[in-house]
Amino acid sequence: MENFVNLDNYVQQCIPFTAEEMMYFHQLFFYKKFKKNSFLLEETQVCNFEAFILKGCIKTFFVDLNAQETIVAFATENWWVSDLESFTNQTPATLNIQALEDCDVLMISHENKELLFRQIPKFERVFRLMVQRSLFTMMNRFHASVSKTAEQRYQDFMQKYPHILQRVPQNQIARYIGVSPEFLSKVRNGWTKK
């Protein structure tokens, strides 16, 4: 039960549930540990989980035509991670999900999530809100990528995700904001000289 405290808080912020409903919810999840650099999911596998992060930092990325990583997202404690399209449609994944630190997660399978929605339909609201938040984040990120300079995108990243700055290598942050590590280094050095 201790593992569920943060997940329960997340869920109860969306909509109240009874103790019995939460107990049923808990039974549908399984606990899993991942070592640093291990993959939760690799491209072409079918994603059969949505994971709630209890501890650790995870990146979601794809490899582009030039064999370079393009980082879609970082996720830390109390965030969800999955390849939503693969999970929903049960089709091969287009994303990789990799642990950047040793991680502890709670996972729900596709089958168990469908069972949850049939047994307690109001849980759909929790997951709908989660998807909406994710969509808003992606839309804001896309808008920033076409309307802001690299320096502004890095400033935004520092303001929105200060807890990630110390946990993720600078070259990965550069990939996330869409610049080379060398360019990011110049931006950062320019700030220290001001």
Nearby residues of 109 by Cβ (< 8 Å), 6 or more positions away: 28, 30, 48, 49
Same domain, yes or no: 142 and 53: yes
Same domain, yes or no: 129 and 169: no
Same domain, yes or no: 114 and 40: yes
The answer to whether the beta carbons of residues 140 and 156 sit under 8 Å apart is no
Q: Checking phi first, is residue 60 left (phi over 0); if not, alpha (psi -120 to 50) or beta?
A: beta
Residue 88: what pLDDT? 95
pTM > 0.75: yes or no:
yes
Same domain, yes or no: 162 and 117: no
- Look up the domain containing 159 and give its range: 148-194
Same domain, yes or no: 84 and 111: yes
Q: How many domains does the chain have?
A: 2
Domain containing 110 — which CATH number? 2.60.120.10
Residue 102: what pLDDT? 98
Residue 189: what pLDDT? 77
Same domain, yes or no: 183 and 98: no
DSSP codes, 103-150 = EEEEEEEHHHHHHHHHH-TTHHHHHHHHHHHHHHHHHHHHHHHHHS-H
Residue by residue, pLDDT tens for the chain (194 residues) are 568 999 999 999 989 999 999 999 999 999 999 999 999 999 999 999 999 999 999 999 999 999 989 999 999 999 999 999 999 999 999 999 999 999 999 999 999 999 999 999 999 999 999 899 989 988 998 888 889 988 899 999 999 999 998 899 999 999 999 888 888 888 877 755 55
Same domain, yes or no: 142 and 177: no
